[in-house]
Homo-oligomer: A and B are copies of this chain.
Amino acid sequence: MLDNKKTTMGLTSVLVTGANRGIGLEFVKQFLALANPPQHVFATCRQPDEAKELQSLASANNNLHVLELELKNYASYDDLVGQVRDVLGDNGLDSLVNNAGMYHKVSLEDGGPELMVDNFEVNAVTPLMLTRAFLPLLRQAVANKRQPIVANITSKMGSIADNGSGNHYAYRASKTALNSISKSLSVDLGKEGIICFPLHPGWVLTDMGGPNALIDTKSSVGGLINIITTADKTRNGKFLNYDGTEIPW
């Protein structure tokens, strides 16, 4: 069984997108429950007022900050970064978990180009743009002698090598593209002392994963947090399963 009670090894702050449900919400719960939790956990979602569980958690944990973010509203990023900076001061951000994602159904014969494009934009473009927006805060963490991490939640369905069943054109292409972007980020950011990797959460029992999924969110996120909190540069740019094993591209 994976251990999610490790100390954070210097992870003083983390931001998780798509945190109102599923894997994102579980990330928030488990970060808060760590033996040595981050001083600040930022949880973004589209409609904070509707995110009852997040609000309830925030009432009980004053280190949790629930922030509004509509991923495709790029013009709002500066304001979001400003809100996070207001909390963190000059400490910088230790970890950005690009978790938010979605699935559009596109098969060989059905599903239009607008679904392909939207799936790509949400799942692959917004993590890149958000990483860019938070670069100044990630760099502040480096300046403070920490080794920040950008964790992109992808899917094994984005593995081309593993694709034996075809179909799912929009989702697969978006996640393969996110893997491509993660690899470029790992090269470009690695030079600055920032780690980046794409992580596969397993086939998880969530609204998106459906009823035939293989593991529960607790085990999945426990594994992912273990990877994030113990990451070193040997992991930079690797495509990792929630149990720490490497997945082929």
Residue in B closest to A164 when the chains form the complex, CB atoms: B187
Q: CB within 8 Å of B: which of A153-170?
A: 158-161, 163-169
Contacts of A174 on B, CB cut-off 8 Å?
Answer: 177
Known: A120-B124, A160-B179; 17 extra A-B contacts, CB below 8 A, are A108-B188, A108-B189, A109-B132, A113-B121, A113-B129, A116-B124, A116-B125, A124-B173, A128-B169, A164-B187, A165-B187, A167-B187, A169-B181, A173-B180, A174-B177, A177-B180, A248-B249
Give the number of residues in A that approach B within 8 Å (Cβ atoms). 46
Contacts of A108 on B, CB cut-off 8 Å?
Answer: 132, 135, 184-185, 188-189
20 contacts between A and B (CB under 8 A): A74-B112, A113-B121, A116-B120, A116-B121, A116-B128, A120-B124, A120-B177, A158-B180, A160-B179, A160-B249, A161-B249, A163-B184, A166-B183, A166-B184, A166-B187, A166-B188, A172-B180, A173-B181, A176-B176, A176-B177
Contact yes or no, B180 A176, CB < 8 A:
yes
Please measure, in the bound complex, the distance between the C-alpha atom of A165 and the C-alpha atom of B135, giving whole angstroms.
19
Cβ-based interface call for A117 (8 A): yes
Contact yes or no, B184 A168, CB < 8 A:
yes
Contacts of A177 on B, CB cut-off 8 Å?
Answer: 120, 173-174, 176-177, 180
Contacts of A74 on B, CB cut-off 8 Å?
Answer: 112-113
Contact yes or no, B166 A180, CB < 8 A:
no
Known: A74-B113, A121-B117, A132-B109. A184 touches B161 (CB 8 A): no
Known: A158-B180, A163-B187. A117 touches B120 (CB 8 A): yes
Residue in B closest to A176 when the chains form the complex, CB atoms: B180
Please measure, in the bound complex, the distance between the C-alpha atom of A186 and the C-alpha atom of B125, giving whole angstroms.
26
Q: Which of B120, B128, B168, B176 contacts A179 (CB 8 A)?
A: B176
Contacts of A165 on B, CB cut-off 8 Å?
Answer: 187
Q: Which of B121, B160, B186, B188 contacts A183 (CB 8 A)?
A: B160
Residue in B closest to A74 when the chains form the complex, CB atoms: B113
Q: CB within 8 Å of B: which of A171-223?
A: 172-174, 176-177, 179-181, 183-189
Residue in B closest to A116 when the chains form the complex, CB atoms: B125
Please measure, in the bound complex, the distance between the C-alpha atom of A210 and the C-alpha atom of B167, giving whole angstroms.
36
